[in-house]
Structure 1
Amino acid sequence: MENLERDEPLTPAGRMFVSSEMNQIINCVIAGENPIDIEAVRAEISNSLMVKHPRFCSLLVKDSSGREHWRRTVVDVDRHLIVRHDTLSENPLVSDEVAVNEYLADLSVSSPLGTDKPLWEIHLLMAYNSAVFRVHHALGDGISLMSMFLSCCRRADDPAMRPTIGGVGASASAMLKRRWDFWTLLKVVWYTFVYILEFILRGLWLKDRSTPLSGGDGVELWPRKLATARFQLDDMKAVKRAVADATINDVLFGVVSSGLSRYLDIRSPKALQKGLRFTGVAMVNLRPQPGLQDISKLMSSDLGTQLGNKFGMLLLPVHYHKGGSNPLEFVKRAKAMIDKKKLSLEGPCSYKIGNFIMSFFGTKVASILNYRIVCNTTFTISNIVGPREEITIVGNPIKYIRVSSTSLPHAITLHMVSYAGKGRHANPCRQRHNPGPRSSGEVF
């Protein structure tokens, strides 16, 4: 009874993320310029806000009714540090980046986090000057976890300063800044109704037509390959300026739409009709403060708001067009679609619907419906804005930050994170064969 009084119940989103259907782990690779100092890393972790935060020093336990709780424990940092001195590939011609990609792809399907310790760990890949920070999604979403990570970092040009970060996507406060009139209000109501109706139908039976991009039930267990692309944000801004009132997210989604259409051109040049729709799933930040979260507030007692998962779900339709189309047309179509999504309340409403189903029907029903939404769509896309400046951690300059996650029943998942004016796009995709011995490699 004494333990139960101290235990803290999981939030509805946290309960969903620990369910067997949606067991999600975020994997973040941090590559350093110099060799890793293990003792310095151990000391930094031991003295960081991370190990003082209730979620990062709590065990996941279940009561007699099977309901999940957080139970405080003493963190043994050595149990969370996994040091690997060996090389990850037997092929000496494989580059460091490809080897780390292979390691990350393997983690996405074969390495859950044990519940005998708090749900995070750090793999130090000494041969590659890289670290893989693994944290369960039940502890927080990408924005709050990026804030937590950056609390351990300093700016490379001024070690006394912490990194800064820009706004991240849409936020709940964005709607309040809009000029309201009758026509705008009517569009808000209409778009919200249409998108929420589709959201509900996706959880029941509405499904994308089968294409070479399709996933489905069980695909999350298939072997994965991880491909990465890097580009300058200034280049994306140049494209943005070519389309009136476009944003970086419009350009990003236009690039994704164009790339997927070109891929389908290669795989099924005659089998697909122009205008065929396939659907992506994206998350939208619902915090009033869209950028870097205040580190001091991360330590507050209101964990569900400050650290946990505070996002809604958007369904983003993509229409197949022949690869010969003007690339800017993809950006214009993406902008027109995203503008409607921004005008709607799909994100906040999907969050409320999820909480309602979790509260009244339980974790099992909510997880199954969420799983079905993923199975009935084609891909996942996420976009996290990282630090504006180059940063260091324990004095080691960071070359890049790359984010991925454990597998979903999607054939393709796209994660973008920016760092010091550069974008890195990680793309874990299923291998095109039946499940069997896990193989490795890089796909472009």
Structure 2
Amino acid sequence: MESHMGERKETRANDPSFSSSSLCMGSSAADKFSDEPITPIGGFFLQPRMEQIIHCTMGFKNPIDIAAIKSHLKTVLLSHPRFSSLMVRGPRGLKQWHSTSHVDLDRHIIVVPDTITTASNFDHEAAVNAYLTDFYTSSGLSADKPLWEFHLLMAHNCGVFRIHHALGDGASLMSLLSASFRGPEEEEKLPDLGSAGKKRNRVNGEKGWWVLLIGFVGMVWFTLIFTVEFVLRLLWDCDRKTEISGGDGVELWPRRLATARFKLQDMKLVKKAVPNATINDVLVGVVSAGLSRYLDQRTPNGLPEGLRITGMAMVNLREQHRLQEQSDLMKSNSGLSWRNKFGTVLLPIYYQKSSGTDPLGYLKRAKVTMDRKKQSLEAFLSYKIGCILMTYLGAEIATWLLYRAVSNTNFVISNMLGPQEEIAVGGNPVTYLRVNTSSVPQALTMHMVSYAERADMQISVAKDIIPDPEFLAKCFEEALVDMKEAAH
């Protein structure tokens, strides 16, 4: 592994020589009491080993009008404190957000010349993906300006929104897109984020106390099991090595990107085949079936039936998910709400030979696993434990511990509920919406976003471990097709 490892450049945010006085653009006009501490989870994402940049790729219907985009961003984006604040070190060395009175948009909007991205035989997706992969091994965002950029790939009618994960999480990003980038014909109407995929179980009062007791015992039992499992994973436990296994240092390896495309209607049809299943259950079933199909091809000698492959899934911990509440995150006084508020759960899937296996069997098994995860407090405790470690043990020790847990898993997966109606940037309709993040120790990361009745899953792989991400994406797409046929 070491032969592939490079040295990721640290951002200037991690340089202790930078203080609030050295980074304040227009600080004389800024309110000295407006400084706000960075949250513990935000601080975690500023550590060199786990520094994360969110890349949100938008395809545009019409040629890009740079002036219109600048005007739009100036009007709707800079009013939010996160996008007009510097990340600085305070008097005691603690990192905090410092409001600045001036943001130079020309430093944040990067216009990419046609010659840089037209080398892939005019394959727009390949060119955009190649451009994105360059970010994985480059330095992060410069800390002498607010931690975001918008890259305009003129030759491909595409924009890449880069946001440091310290600013916020996927739910925050979707609230930004929905509240600020509205459809050209519905400027006064907020796009629908759809119904929440996560619902709390409600107990009918007529069922009696024993239902509450059984639910409580189940919650305690599964929380205990999953917490012990997480601690073991943090210390030494890991799965058997397979053709998709990463590990310590893999976040520095070169990457490749591919996209699996799904119809949201197909996923809704499949989930009806299993009572009380959700879109998240379908996604986990598709990943389980797709990875089994992929490993069948990549492992000629076969793998043991039922082999466990453990990943990490991101879980939004906010109480409300609909747009009426999500749009509130964009209010100027909601800096603490527009943040990282998500937990992680260990997500086991099991290899099964793809031939002769009932396609819906993957979904049924995924539903059992996901139901147990929802019943436990694993996601909530993982968030609280991360905050406690960062607060009381310090960033370096906490990052070292959490990095071990990440290194001992095989993949990362998330599912973000995006706008279900068309959005636009500067009056230019967005035709697709995709998200990925910078590298992690796993060799495989998968981020799915639903947008306007389609769901695109961006797949990032360490190319020396998984050299054919396009084939892997095809395995996922075919897995959903098989489930759809079995559901009829």
Aligned partners of 2:300 and 2:312: how far apart in 1?
25
1:427 matched to 2:456? The reply is no
Q: Which segment drifts farther, 115-124 or 81-90?
A: 81-90
1:55 matched to 2:82? The reply is yes
Aligned partners of 1:54 and 1:7: how far apart in 2?
10
Label 1:202 to 1:440 Cα distance change in 2 as closer, same or farther (>3 A).
Answer: closer
Label 1:301 to 1:396 Cα distance change in 2 as closer, same or farther (>3 A).
Answer: closer
Q: Which residue of 2 aligns with 1:238?
A: 269
Label 1:379 to 1:214 Cα distance change in 2 as closer, same or farther (>3 A).
Answer: same
- Alpha-carbon shift at residue 162 of structure 1 (Å): 2.2
Superposed, which structure 2 residues align to 1:389-404 within 5 Å?
A: 389-404=421-436
Aligned partners of 1:260 and 1:378: how far apart in 2?
11
**Deviations 1:369-408 (Å, cap 9, x if unpaired)?**
2211110000000100111112222221111001011010
Considering only aligned residues, what root-mean-square deviation do their CA atoms show, in Å? Answer: 2.3
Aligned partner letter, 2:198: A
8 Å CA contact 1:219, 1:409 repeated in 2: yes
Q: Give the one of 291, 309, 314 matched to 1:278.
A: 309
Aligned partners of 1:158 and 1:115: how far apart in 2?
36
Q: Give the one of 3, 23, 27 matched to 2:51.
A: 23
Aligned partners of 1:149 and 1:177: how far apart in 2?
35
Q: Which residue of 2 aligns with 1:377?
A: 409
TM-score, normalised to structure 2, is 0.84
Label 1:229 to 1:201 Cα distance change in 2 as closer, same or farther (>3 A).
Answer: same
TM-score, normalised to structure 1, is 0.93
What SS is found at the alignment partner of 2:180? coil
Superposed, which structure 2 residues align to 1:401-412 within 5 Å?
A: 401-412=433-444
Aligned partners of 2:420 and 2:437: how far apart in 1?
23
Aligned partners of 2:133 and 2:468: how far apart in 1?
8
8 Å CA contact 2:176, 2:327 repeated in 1: yes
Q: Which residue of 2 aligns with 1:347?
A: 379
Label 1:377 to 1:92 Cα distance change in 2 as closer, same or farther (>3 A).
Answer: closer
8 Å CA contact 2:246, 2:407 repeated in 1: yes
- Alpha-carbon shift at residue 294 of structure 1 (Å): 4.0
What SS is found at the alignment partner of 2:55? strand
**Deviations 1:149-187 (Å, cap 9, x if unpaired)?**
22222235534422110244436xx25668752111111
Label 1:178 to 1:353 Cα distance change in 2 as closer, same or farther (>3 A).
Answer: farther
Label 1:191 to 1:291 Cα distance change in 2 as closer, same or farther (>3 A).
Answer: same
Q: Which residue of 1 aligns with 2:149?
A: 121
Aligned partners of 2:141 and 2:134: how far apart in 1?
14
Q: Which residue of 2 aligns with 1:142?
A: 170
8 Å CA contact 1:284, 1:313 repeated in 2: yes
Structure 1 runs not aligned, ≥5 long? none
Q: Which residue of 1 aligns with 2:361?
A: 329
Q: Give the one of 43, 50, 67 matched to 2:94.
A: 67
Q: Which residue of 2 aligns with 1:315?
A: 346
Superposed, which structure 2 residues align to 1:253-292 within 5 Å?
A: 253-292=284-323
8 Å CA contact 1:27, 1:134 repeated in 2: yes
Label 1:359 to 1:70 Cα distance change in 2 as closer, same or farther (>3 A).
Answer: same
- Alpha-carbon shift at residue 302 of structure 1 (Å): 4.8
8 Å CA contact 1:226, 1:443 repeated in 2: no
8 Å CA contact 1:402, 1:426 repeated in 2: yes
Q: Give the one of 24, 40, 49 matched to 2:68.
A: 40
Superposed, which structure 2 residues align to 1:157-168 within 5 Å?
A: 158-168=186-196
8 Å CA contact 1:403, 1:426 repeated in 2: yes
Aligned partners of 1:242 and 1:225: how far apart in 2?
34
- Alpha-carbon shift at residue 108 of structure 1 (Å): 2.5
Q: Which residue of 1 aligns with 2:113?
A: 85
**Deviations 1:258-296 (Å, cap 9, x if unpaired)?**
111111111224252111111111111111112334434
Aligned partners of 1:90 and 1:356: how far apart in 2?
47
- Alpha-carbon shift at residue 322 of structure 1 (Å): 0.7
Counting matched residue pairs gives: 436
Q: Which residue of 1 aligns with 2:248?
A: 217
Give identity over the alignment, percent.
Answer: 48
Q: Which residue of 2 aligns with 1:151?
A: 179
Aligned partners of 2:146 and 2:50: how far apart in 1?
19
1:197 matched to 2:224? The reply is no
Structure 2 runs not aligned, ≥5 long? 1-19, 22-26, 206-210, 473-488
Aligned partner letter, 1:151: A
What SS is found at the alignment partner of 2:413? strand
Q: Which segment drifts farther, 351-360 or 148-157?
A: 148-157
8 Å CA contact 2:119, 2:127 repeated in 1: no
**Deviations 1:39-59 (Å, cap 9, x if unpaired)?**
0111111111x2122221111
- Alpha-carbon shift at residue 300 of structure 1 (Å): 5.0
Label 1:338 to 1:188 Cα distance change in 2 as closer, same or farther (>3 A).
Answer: same
What SS is found at the alignment partner of 2:70? helix
What SS is found at the alignment partner of 1:303? coil
Q: Which residue of 1 aligns with 2:17?
A: none
- Alpha-carbon shift at residue 366 of structure 1 (Å): 1.6
Q: Which segment drifts farther, 162-171 or 102-111?
A: 162-171
8 Å CA contact 2:70, 2:105 repeated in 1: yes
Aligned partners of 2:63 and 2:51: how far apart in 1?
33
Aligned partners of 1:195 and 1:328: how far apart in 2?
26
Aligned partner letter, 1:81: I
Q: Give the one of 81, 96, 100 matched to 2:128.
A: 100
Aligned partner letter, 1:163: P
Aligned partner letter, 1:138: A
Aligned partners of 1:148 and 1:77: how far apart in 2?
18
